[in-house]
Structure 1
Amino acid sequence: MASIPLTDINSPLSADQARRVQQALADLDDAQRQWLSGYLAGLNAQAAESPVATQVPAASTMLTVLYGSQTGNAEGVAELAAERAGAKGFEVELLSMADCGKKRLKAAERLLVVVSTQGDGDPPDTALEFHELMMGRKAPKLEGLKFAVLGLGDASYEHFCQTGKEFDARLAELGGERIRARVDCDVDYEDTAERWIDEVLAVLEDDLAAPATQSASISGAVAPQQAGSQYSKKNPYLAEVLTVQPLNGRGSDKQTLHLELSLEDSGLEYLPGDAVGVVPQNDPAHIDELIETLKLDAESPLDEGRVLRDALLTDFEVTTLTRPFLQQWAEWSQAPELRRLLGEDARDELRDWLQGRQIIDVIEQFPVDGIDAAQFATALRKLPPRLYSIASSQLALPDEVHLTVAVVRYETHGRARNGVTTTYLADRVAPGDRVPIYIDHNKHFKLPDDDDAPLIMIGPGTGVAPFRAFLQEREERGASGDNWLFFGDRHFRSDFLYQAEWLKWRQQGLLNRLDVAFSRDQAEKVYVQDRLREQAETLYAWLEAGAYVYVCGDAERMAPDVHRALHDVIREQGGHGEAGADDYLRRLQQEGRYQRDVY
């Protein structure tokens, strides 16, 4: 059979290539052609084995891990997700919502979102602008995007993980493909977050063309640091109590304590702005009352060799009410009133009903017969550590960490109530005892690197704690920047926390300005936000000179009131208008010059 001439029509070759191949073949005999056929087959096989030689474009391995974090928890989860994704062969971009605009979001192919919720369902400060973009008309279309969302929050709040819920719904509305149902994490989030990471990456691994032989790069991630201590949230350090000192004077209706704990030989390190996590124990008297109300045996066995009373003392949250607990109790009790309160039409009524009530109130009002110890334990969440802003500088006190603790005691619905951790520290801890602690690092509440930068610190009540640490640190560093403190509490004579230290620093010139507001020393209450307005002209001049603003304390009332006062000062003194003042504050946040540690 005559061979068909090779051309650019019947081959993938160009006309010139086809002509030259045809000429070369014409000069070969049968044996030479057979050898050439084998040679070409060998080249093809070698090319198939070599990823460099293949002409098939490799599948993209890009993965964006986006986080919005107030205290650093969401950022920590995002870093862990980025690390594990990189180990599986993804090329990871780790990105704060503060740095993510429309263009970068639209370019993402696969997106993991980790975001916390604060206050009354609000996004973290660093995520405010991104949240505004996503929820507004300028949000980009995201067809082809694969995404998954993890929310961090506290189930005792009405708007639990609200920001995560909003991002999850909006990403789907914009055309994204949800690869896993959203997961909402309560305060004990670590195990749930790790499972979410592993499950999401297992789904996304199908996108990879082949298993990676080494970790892909992670852009935007901080390289893991060598651990300086073996102690952590899961393995707390037993710190010796050195001092427990009352801070309030005679006649105060508050109890505030100054605690000093030893860190000697622990390897624990911290910076001003960080917090100490205290792993508490529940009140034994409350546990006994709870067991009696449930009609259970304190020695009832649970798993891992534990008995009920010991587990309730150290392992479970037994006071704070959460919606999951109420839903479980409603199922067991079948109480019509509780079921009605949990309905969508009774959300406002439920919010009011929950005020001042705890788990024992629900058990008494809606009794359940026949529940056993193991069942009850399944309805409880783990006892979370409580975080306290550090009130000392490790540069000034290398082997110590100091805390400022407001002891919580009150009465509601005919029953005395106690703060779990604060009364543990106040009533059952003395010098020489040991308290389990760990350091909770807060990357978003830190002193500026520039020691010449002025600081404006706003901290009523125990919110003043980190500013004691700030001034100790600046004193040790010999910082030249000016410092201005706004402090508030109830009464000058009894509630001026750390008064002697502030006045000493004021006299020495380290503390350049000190404005105080004692709300109940006059007929009309005065708060720190009122002092901000009184000092509007000077305050704005400091802002224009590059001052950093720090706010620490109550998230529900104080922080919004202070934010509004700052907004008004900027609007009035700078002539910016409402929108201009909003932009000014947003720019301060983006530059790290407006930082909040609120709770």
Structure 2
Amino acid sequence: MTLLSSVIILYGSQTGNAEWIANNINHIAKLRGFKSECFVLDDFEKVCSYSILIGLGDSSYANFCNNAKRIERKLIEFGATNMMETGLADDDLGLELVVDPWVENLFIVLDDLVYYEKEKRVHSGKVILEEYINNGEKMVSEFNNLHVDESNYECIPLPIPKDILKDYPKLTNIAKLPNNLFQVSTTETTSGNSIDKTRVELCSIEAARCLTSANAIKKTINMKLKLETEWEYMPGDCVAIHCPNDSRLVDRIMRRLNLSPDENIKINWSEETETKAVPSHLISCNTIRGLLTNSLDLHSFPKKAFFRSMAEFCSDPEEKNILLFLCSKQDIPVNVLDILAHFESCKPSIQSLIETLTPLQPRLYSISSSPLDSKSSVEFAFNVIENELNVGDKVYTRGGLCTSWLDSMLGCLPYKSIEWTTLLDKDYKLCIKRKPSSFFNPPSDQQTPIIMIGPGTGVTPFIGFLRHKEIQQVDSLTWLFYGCRYENDDYLFRQDIDRFINNKTLIKYDVCFSREQEKSLGHKYVQHRMIHHGKELFQWIEERNATVYVCGDAKNMAKDVNDALIEIAMKFGGMDIKHAIEWLNNLVNQKRYLRDIWA
């Protein structure tokens, strides 16, 4: 394929967000040696042969990202080929959650699609910071601003070099200061606080088992919940678990900001804002502690609007400038308390936290059970997350919010257990909600062949698919691609899979062990196994009209599987890359290539 000569960036914007992102992409493209130009949509009339699209929207509105979707359809009608999955960024959750990884993937695609001058390629600010982070000699060895108290919740010192601003004498692309949306008042009270129970239901943890060995890199738990009411669900649906922020984290933030935990809090829209209902995540906030425990996300990396707002509350000019720099350029994997601990002069108001912190979202987990087995219980699996960050010569570990919380309730489960450990006597209660899938359920026609691709915990929904089919006793074609690191350490649901094979529920099965490739014909990952069986896989899709399901990691696996399918279409379908991509896009439009992926 001949490389394209340049990048054309088009944007339409009302609030300025899309304009800022477009100009930033244009700036990075030039730093990376591309010939790049940026236009308002109205000023550009040509139809491009290849397109890559991202839409910005707010999911609180009915027609979320509708303009982006309409433009995508029009581009396809005019013959443009979409070279990358369209990004749909949600301002309700934080645009950067989609925009930042989308931009990162964009330049991976552009490197293979568009000519660039290697001699003009320079490091971006993000790469410079990563080099600082990875080089202990350039790190700040002493963190004088870090507050230390008796709490056992450990802050992570921010990996910010002392001379972070020396290469940036003028700050650019600074995020817009958030508007004052709310009026917040507090009064003394002793009233309680909780999650709004009208939006969720209670359930009990019925049983659990550990699916991995003590040597596994990740601990994987299979959990069974006993429901108070029967659920009408389907395999592919999710259970949404509402978990609180760590009480130690909440206590430290309240002490840091000198907040009274039992003060009553009242939230209304400001006079400058059009009359609206208070956002749902703030409805049940009675006290400061309730707000910080159940409503605001204190655990995740904050939105850039948070850094921009915090800069206004710094009395130290140098700290203010660093926060402005961080909101314009960088991502550092720390939470709210880490930031407040580092920037000692920052004294934000509770109103600024409400306006700039994202809602504490429920965590979604794919259901691995079938309603044909029981409607009064559901099962799911999860990895117990432990993230590590190297700062200087010390490694800091921080667990996932929900997975660590769930794991703490279970005690010491036997490793690699087939049997369930009953937990009803513990009377553990969870706030949950059923999250139906709009697309990732088994085909309505039970005879439709299905190809399931899910390494790691990505296999979880497919266990539900196969259990459902096992109970239905439907004679149809099923093919599962699964992968893990080690056969004896993290082979999830092995007994279930063996049973599906033995009773012919699962017709074809391929497994890869990435650290024991000799056990899987030298194939490291599922995409390698797919290519190995490319001819038959293509026949299943083309001749037998199979539906392809992919579940798992979006950053690596999903892209690699996508590329493998394109390679298979080129090799066994006689297509060039353009027509192979069109073929895959057609499968998407026909709802025969379905992906449930996460970051």
Give the TM-score band, short-chain normalised.
Answer: 0.5 to 0.7
> Residue in 1 aligned with 2:227?
263
Q: How far has the Cα of 1:591 moved from its partner?
A: 1.5
Q: CA 1:137–1:472 in 2, change beyond 3 Å: closer, same or farther?
A: closer
Q: How does 1:374-413 map to 2 (within 5 A)?
A: 375-412=352-389, 413=391
Q: Which of 299, 304, 312 is residue 292 of structure 2 equivalent to?
A: 312
Confirm or deny that 1:157 pairs with 2:138. no
Amino acid at match of 1:459: G
> Residue in 2 aligned with 1:434?
429
Q: How far has the Cα of 1:469 moved from its partner?
A: 0.8
Q: How far has the Cα of 1:570 moved from its partner?
A: 1.2
Kept after mapping to 2: 8 A contact 1:233/1:437:
no
Q: Which of 298, 309, 312 is residue 328 of structure 1 equivalent to?
A: 309
Task: Determine the C-alpha separation between the residues in 1 that align with 2:546 and 2:81.
Answer: 32
Q: How far has the Cα of 1:373 moved from its partner?
A: 4.5
> Residue in 2 aligned with 1:277?
240
Task: Determine the C-alpha separation between the residues in 1 that align with 2:221 and 2:530.
Answer: 27
Q: CA 1:532–1:305 in 2, change beyond 3 Å: closer, same or farther?
A: closer
Q: Which of 244, 247, 253 is residue 290 of structure 1 equivalent to?
A: 253
Task: Determine the C-alpha separation between the residues in 2 that align with 1:596 and 1:468.
Answer: 16
Task: Determine the C-alpha separation between the residues in 2 that align with 1:470 and 1:129.
Answer: 32
Amino acid at match of 1:308: I
Kept after mapping to 2: 8 A contact 1:548/1:594:
yes
Paired residue secondary structure (1:573): helix
Q: Deviations over 1:354-391 (max 9, x none)?
A: 2x222222112222455454554444332111111111
Q: How does 1:537-576 map to 2 (within 5 A)?
A: 537-544=535-542, 545-576=544-575
Confirm or deny that 1:236 pairs with 2:200. yes
Show structure 2 runs of 5+ residues with no match.
1-60, 83-88, 104-180, 183-194, 267-283, 411-422
Q: How far has the Cα of 1:393 moved from its partner?
A: 1.1
Q: How far has the Cα of 1:452 moved from its partner?
A: 1.4
Amino acid at match of 1:325: F
Q: CA 1:232–1:135 in 2, change beyond 3 Å: closer, same or farther?
A: farther
Q: CA 1:138–1:507 in 2, change beyond 3 Å: closer, same or farther?
A: closer
Q: How far has the Cα of 1:263 moved from its partner?
A: 2.3
Q: Which of 230, 239, 245 is residue 209 of structure 2 equivalent to?
A: 245
Kept after mapping to 2: 8 A contact 1:341/1:350:
no
Q: How far has the Cα of 1:232 moved from its partner?
A: 10
Amino acid at match of 2:534: A
Amino acid at match of 2:443: P
Q: Which of 406, 420, 442 is residue 447 of structure 1 equivalent to?
A: 442
Q: CA 1:547–1:232 in 2, change beyond 3 Å: closer, same or farther?
A: farther
Q: How far has the Cα of 1:495 moved from its partner?
A: 0.5
Confirm or deny that 1:517 pairs with 2:516. no
Q: CA 1:237–1:345 in 2, change beyond 3 Å: closer, same or farther?
A: closer
> Residue in 1 aligned with 2:173?
none
Deviates further, 558-567 or 130-139:
130-139
Paired residue secondary structure (2:375): coil
Q: How far has the Cα of 1:505 moved from its partner?
A: 0.8
Q: Which of 416, 435, 440 is residue 397 of structure 2 equivalent to?
A: 416
Amino acid at match of 2:379: H
Give aligned-pair identity as a percent: 28
Kept after mapping to 1: 8 A contact 2:303/2:356:
no
Show structure 1 runs of 5+ residues with no match.
1-111, 118-122, 140-148, 164-190, 193-230
Kept after mapping to 1: 8 A contact 2:387/2:397:
yes
Q: Deviations over 1:172-208 (max 9, x none)?
A: xxxxxxxxxxxxxxxxxxx99xxxxxxxxxxxxxxxx
Q: CA 1:539–1:133 in 2, change beyond 3 Å: closer, same or farther?
A: closer
> Residue in 2 aligned with 1:103?
none
Q: CA 1:358–1:251 in 2, change beyond 3 Å: closer, same or farther?
A: same
Amino acid at match of 1:570: A
Task: Determine the C-alpha separation between the residues in 2 that align with 1:340 and 1:158.
Answer: 26
Task: Determine the C-alpha separation between the residues in 2 that align with 1:399 and 1:410.
Answer: 34
Task: Determine the C-alpha separation between the residues in 2 that align with 1:252 and 1:532.
Answer: 25
Paired residue secondary structure (1:424): helix
Deviates further, 504-513 or 362-371:
362-371
Q: CA 1:306–1:374 in 2, change beyond 3 Å: closer, same or farther?
A: farther
Amino acid at match of 1:319: H
> Residue in 1 aligned with 2:501?
506
> Residue in 2 aligned with 1:208?
none
Q: How does 1:360-375 map to 2 (within 5 A)?
A: 360-368=337-345, 370-373=347-350, 375=352
Amino acid at match of 2:582: D
Kept after mapping to 2: 8 A contact 1:232/1:438:
no
Task: Determine the C-alpha separation between the residues in 1 that align with 2:366 and 2:316.
Answer: 42
Task: Determine the C-alpha separation between the residues in 2 that align with 1:135 and 1:360.
Answer: 50
Task: Determine the C-alpha separation between the residues in 2 that align with 1:463 and 1:116.
Answer: 27
Q: How far has the Cα of 1:572 moved from its partner?
A: 0.5
Q: Deviations over 1:136-156 (max 9, x none)?
A: 8899xxxxxxxxx98665445
Confirm or deny that 1:479 pairs with 2:474. yes
TM-score of the two chains, using structure 2 as the length reference: 0.61
Q: Deviations over 1:218-274 (max 9, x none)?
A: xxxxxxxxxxxxx9995211011111211112311211111111225x143211111
Task: Determine the C-alpha separation between the residues in 1 that align with 2:320 and 2:75.
Answer: 36
Amino acid at match of 1:322: K
Q: Which structure ranks higher in relative contact order (CA pairs < 8 Å, sequence separation ≥ 6)? A: 2
> Residue in 1 aligned with 2:528?
530
Q: Which of 93, 111, 114 is residue 63 of structure 2 equivalent to?
A: 114
Confirm or deny that 1:130 pairs with 2:79. no
Which of the two has higher C-alpha Rg? 1
> Residue in 2 aligned with 1:181?
none
Task: Determine the C-alpha separation between the residues in 1 that align with 2:502 and 2:361.
Answer: 42
Q: State the superposition RMSD in angstroms.
A: 3.5
Task: Determine the C-alpha separation between the residues in 2 that align with 1:161 and 1:566.
Answer: 22
Q: CA 1:560–1:551 in 2, change beyond 3 Å: closer, same or farther?
A: same
Q: CA 1:326–1:428 in 2, change beyond 3 Å: closer, same or farther?
A: farther
Q: CA 1:416–1:247 in 2, change beyond 3 Å: closer, same or farther?
A: same
Task: Determine the C-alpha separation between the residues in 1 that align with 2:360 and 2:71.
Answer: 30
Q: Deviations over 1:92-140 (max 9, x none)?
A: xxxxxxxxxxxxxxxxxxxx983369xxxxx8xx88952744998899x
Amino acid at match of 1:249: S
Deviates further, 517-526 or 490-499:
517-526
Task: Determine the C-alpha separation between the residues in 2 that align with 1:160 and 1:338.
Answer: 24
Count of aligned pairs: 402
Q: How far has the Cα of 1:415 moved from its partner?
A: 3.4
